[in-house]
Structure 1
Amino acid sequence: MADHNISATSKDLGFTFPAEWHPHRATWLTFPHNDASWQGDKLAKMRPQYFEFIKQISQGENVCFVTNDEALKNFITEELSKINVDLSKIEFLIKPTNDAWCRDHGPSFVINPETGQKMIVDWGHNAWGGKYPPYNDDNRTPRAVASYLNIPIINPGIIMEGGAVEFNGAGSLLTSKSCLLNLNRNPHLNQGQIEKTLCDFYGVEQILWVEGGIVGDDTDGHIDDTTRFVSEDTVVACVESDVNDENHEILQTNLQMLKEMRLVNGKQLNIIELPMPKAVIIDDFRTPGSYANFLICNAGVIVPVFNNPNDQVAIDILGQAFPGRKIIPLLATEIIWGQGSFHCLSQQEPLV
């Protein structure tokens, strides 16, 4: 394989990052094994919800685990067997790992629609502005995946996280100022330089910015907790109806910015408002519970729910937003304590 840093950009080479609803070959995950994110007994408590997530994805595509060691691989295999997961759909890449958030440190797959080729963009990972060292093992994950799949890899040379960006598959990338313009990521780059790098290496035409993220989100405001494309011209945007809630103002600001945006073709976005859950508080901690942290996979749309009064409202809205796709609500009441959910944990590999 071309295991070297290609001098051209992804866009130069005809590659682009497809929308999440593009068919998947697989979904990648980094198996959680230390208690950095789920302390004490919380790691054991979240695992049944995590394994149910795996089971649902595996109904429609392969699931690829980046797994710390052979012992962990054996544990995963045993646990998946207990819940009747088809093990022929499970792949393992054994390598050292730090944390579980594969959306952010894992491989970013771009495809060339003309040639059917696939390539990995190896963005730098610094654990959300250096918040959770060590992160060196996770930062090496994209290169290891490229080697495993025997596909080329390209390195833009800047810090970026998969949860910070959202794609419509038609030239538009949506992100938040509070995250990508934060000085703890790329302090040497201005907004224009960041936009150019994103366009060059994700193969998009425009960068659309909302302001910020929700309370409890330690990523400085990832877009996948607030605003998601559901088609080329439609987004679901989180809103908080309680004017006294900490999330009300920032989500209204984001909503107004979305209303003013124009896509590459000049059209306005269709905006579907998605309620926030009533505050998801665990051990006096306000978690970043959000129905927007869903994963679109071949089997359907896996939506985090929280035994919350707004669960069914959100399920119904997303059912209308994704006509023809199965909505799969899964409890994330234990997973969310780690400050992320199903989308944060996973990264799709497109089928070409």
Structure 2
Amino acid sequence: MPHEGVRQDRLWVAWPTKGYTLGDTAEDAATARRTWAAVANAAAQFQRVTVVACPQDVDVARHHLSAAVEIRARGIDDAWIRDAGPTFVTDGPRLGAVTWVFNGWGAQEWATWDLDATLGPAVAQWAGAERVDSDLVNEGGGIHVDGEGTVLVTETVQLDPGRNPGLSRADVETELARTLGATHAIWLPRGLTRDSATYGTRGHVDIVATFAEPGVVLLHDQRDDGHPDHAVTAAVRAVLADAVDARGKPLELVDLPAPRTLRDADGWVDHSYVNHVLVNGAVIACAFDDPHDVEAVAVLRDAYPGREVVTVDARPLFERGGGIHCITQQQPAVPPV
């Protein structure tokens, strides 16, 4: 699996269709559609974007999306394609798509996944990728790679009894090596607090830490000791500070501030600037109408020199359980045969 910053062929997005992603009112649905479209339209300024939408949603999606965005019609349960879709890998001119087992983030009672369980193979076929099928229950939001053999994972996701009962670290690492070419795993203890609650993923890494480049990790930094993620950040930082990558080199840690906002109507927020996505020549980044937005954009500009930083208000996404990285999946470009 290459680093997210390599040249991409396209970005995949899934369109919100029902349930909590749309919300309870027409106003909620309009907000969701506007936000998903804002991410897709921002990315389409830089590269190809394909949106997967239920057949009954194609017309409303077309209304919100720019003409540059391609739409593919297929039944889906939810709009988090990072998790239900495939993870793309490359081998020279060959494009592969790892199709994990998806079971609704550990068979959670509120989730449905009959259609999403087969989204990975469908996207792989559309992309013209060779399938790399896996028996591991996993999601794209539960991994981050440096492209040189190192993968970040969390104990609460890959070792979750609701996902992979009975599997050991060694079992998971063997499968990640086979599917992603990741020969060295760094196990973080857990994810953020709200993401570990009832309606979370139980600890996805993509709101906690990511590789800006090999050897450099952007880390969610909750600076307010009144927020429970202050302790989470400290524990994750301790692991990363002692870790080395697949080359045996220590990691450089770069802090991305958590927003100053600590709570919303439902409790502690897990708003995170780490949950951005890279596209060709740009970073599509989360904004929260927060005093720390400016600092976060500056950090991202420094971390990704030569890329434009484009922000989208991600509060409607996080209210529904994810962020910009969660609703997207990059497909790397491969050289012609």
Both proteins in one fold, TM over 0.5: yes
- 2:85 counterpart of 1:100: no
Is the contact between residue 97 and residue 130 of structure 2 (CA under 8 Å) also seen in structure 1? Answer: yes
Cα distance in 1 between the residues matched to 2:166 and 2:202: 18
1:257 alignment partner, one of 239, 245, 250: 239
Distance of aligned partners of 1:328 and 1:280 in 2 relative to their CA distance in 1, 3 Å threshold = farther
Superposed CA deviations along residues 79-132 of structure 1, whole A, max 9, x for unmatched, are: 22xxxx2x2x3223221100011000112111112xx01111110001111113
Counting only pairs closer than 5 Å after superposition, residues 150-189 of structure 1 correspond to structure 2 as 150-189=128-167
For residue 280 of structure 1, report the CA deviation from its aligned partner: 5.1
| Structure 2 residue aligned with 1:5 | none
| AA of the residue aligned to 1:19 | H
Is the contact between residue 192 and residue 208 of structure 2 (CA under 8 Å) also seen in structure 1? Answer: yes
Distance of aligned partners of 1:214 and 1:279 in 2 relative to their CA distance in 1, 3 Å threshold = farther
For residue 22 of structure 1, report the CA deviation from its aligned partner: 0.8
| Structure 2 residue aligned with 1:340 | 322
| Structure 2 residue aligned with 1:271 | 253
| Structure 2 residue aligned with 1:192 | 170
Cα distance in 1 between the residues matched to 2:3 and 2:293: 25
| AA of the residue aligned to 1:44 | A
2:266 alignment partner, one of 274, 284, 302: 284
Cα distance in 2 between the residues matched to 1:90 and 1:332: 20
SS at 2:250 equivalent: coil
| Structure 2 residue aligned with 1:313 | 295
Cα distance in 2 between the residues matched to 1:149 and 1:305: 30
| AA of the residue aligned to 1:104 | D
| Structure 1 residue aligned with 2:95 | 118
| Structure 2 residue aligned with 1:23 | 7
Counting only pairs closer than 5 Å after superposition, residues 45-84 of structure 1 correspond to structure 2 as 45-69=31-55, 71-80=56-65
**What is the number of equivalent residue pairs in this alignment?**
327
| Greater CA drift, 324-333 or 98-107 | 324-333
| AA of the residue aligned to 1:112 | D
| Structure 1 residue aligned with 2:19 | 35
| AA of the residue aligned to 2:72 | L
For residue 282 of structure 1, report the CA deviation from its aligned partner: 3.6
- 2:173 counterpart of 1:230: no
Identity over aligned pairs, percent: 26
| Greater CA drift, 280-289 or 324-333 | 280-289
For residue 309 of structure 1, report the CA deviation from its aligned partner: 1.7
Is the contact between residue 59 and residue 299 of structure 1 (CA under 8 Å) also seen in structure 2? Answer: no
2:127 alignment partner, one of 142, 149, 159: 149
Cα distance in 1 between the residues matched to 2:166 and 2:155: 16
| Structure 2 residue aligned with 1:3 | none
For residue 150 of structure 1, report the CA deviation from its aligned partner: 3.4
Cα distance in 2 between the residues matched to 1:109 and 1:267: 26
Is the contact between residue 41 and residue 69 of structure 2 (CA under 8 Å) also seen in structure 1? Answer: no
For residue 38 of structure 1, report the CA deviation from its aligned partner: 4.1
Superposed CA deviations along residues 226-250 of structure 1, whole A, max 9, x for unmatched, are: 1010011101111112222110111
| AA of the residue aligned to 1:55 | N
| AA of the residue aligned to 2:212 | V
| Greater CA drift, 308-317 or 278-287 | 278-287
Distance of aligned partners of 1:280 and 1:138 in 2 relative to their CA distance in 1, 3 Å threshold = farther
| AA of the residue aligned to 1:91 | E
SS at 2:136 equivalent: coil
| AA of the residue aligned to 1:31 | W
Cα distance in 1 between the residues matched to 2:30 and 2:63: 15
SS at 2:31 equivalent: helix
